């Protein structure tokens, strides 16, 4: 499945993958609509970009931070990214970026890009078979829910674990368009219907949940690893 990333040919063997995320009116400025520390803002923005990059099959190697919150916010924003990098055990990821210092905005604004590389490949649509199962890990949350219901957010380290499993055939972070949109995009070559106890049309904010398509033989292991964050999706053909 083609993710919302840029794919750039690098050489005969490799491609560069660029994934990004941004947030606005979330931070510590008086006019922000959601008041949270900048470390949390950048952590969740990094989370989205990282998940998109990895779901496209890439190995991340660098992070770029775009700061429109002022000079004093830089350290906290960088700390949020560093927190995510440490959680993943990927201390080799470099961080660079820039701060807007000529003008001051009345609301916070942050952008983050994650750069990765992968072996060249052709994108092919995924077709569901009887040997496959589908689940959502975590719940869709947005705004203050992300802080208030943090226990329902799929951990970044858990996403990393799923992305490395051979029995996981596809992994898709859920974005602002919701679970149902991502499922329809994932199985665009088939006319399928989906059912889940979760709100499938609700935005998942900073990818607080993700979809996994996996070999049915791995069902017990998948459920055990995800614990209470596991939410099955019934597929109707």
Q: Which of 132, 130, 138 lies closest to 213 in space, CA to CA?
A: 132
Q: Tokens 């033989």, residue? A: 217
* DSSP, res 138: S
Is a pLDDT exceeding 80 seen at residue 1? Answer: no
State how far the Cα of 140 lies from the Cα of 136, in Å rounded to an integer.
9
pLDDT tens for each residue of 149-176: 999 999 999 999 999 999 999 999 999 9
State how far the Cα of 4 lies from the Cα of 221, in Å rounded to an integer.
29
Is a pLDDT exceeding 60 seen at residue 137? Answer: yes
Query: What ranges make up the beta strands (E) of the chain?
Result: 6-9, 14-24, 26-27, 34-35, 59-67, 94-99, 109-119, 132-137, 168-173, 193-195, 210-215, 230-236
Of 134 and 147, which is predicted with more confidence? 134
Distances (CA, A) of 163 to 4, 12, 150: 17, 25, 21
Q: What is the mean pLDDT of residues 94-112?
A: 97
Two tokens, residue 135: 């689940």
């Amino acid at each position: 499945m083609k993710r919302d990333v840029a794919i750039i040919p690098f050489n005969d063997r490799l491609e560069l993958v660029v994934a990004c995320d941004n947030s606005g009116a979330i931070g510590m400025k008086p006019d922000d609509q959601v008041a949270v520390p900048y470390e949390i803002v950048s952590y969740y923005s990094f989370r989205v970009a990282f998940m998109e990059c990895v779901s496209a099959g890439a190995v991340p190697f660098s992070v770029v931070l775009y700061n429109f919150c002022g000079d004093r916010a830089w350290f906290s924003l960088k700390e949020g990214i560093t927190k995510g990098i440490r959680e993943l055990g990927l201390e080799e990821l470099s961080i660079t970026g820039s701060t807007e210092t000529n003008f001051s905005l009345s609301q916070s604004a942050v952008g983050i890009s994650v750069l990765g590389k992968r072996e060249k490949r052709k994108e092919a649509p995924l077709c569901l078979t009887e040997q496959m199962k589908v689940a959502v890990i975590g719940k869709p949350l947005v705004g203050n829910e992300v802080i208030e219901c943090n226990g329902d957010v799929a951990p970044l380290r858990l996403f990393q674990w799923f992305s490395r499993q051979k029995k996981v055939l596809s992994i898709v972070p859920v974005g602002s368009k919701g679970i149902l949109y991502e499922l329809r995009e994932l199985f665009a070559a088939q006319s399928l219907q989906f059912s889940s106890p979760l709100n499938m049309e609700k935005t998942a904010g900073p990818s607080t949940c993700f979809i996994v398509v996996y070999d049915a033989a791995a069902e017990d292991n998948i459920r055990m690893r995800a614990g209470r964050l596991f939410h099955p999706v019934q597929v109707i053909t």
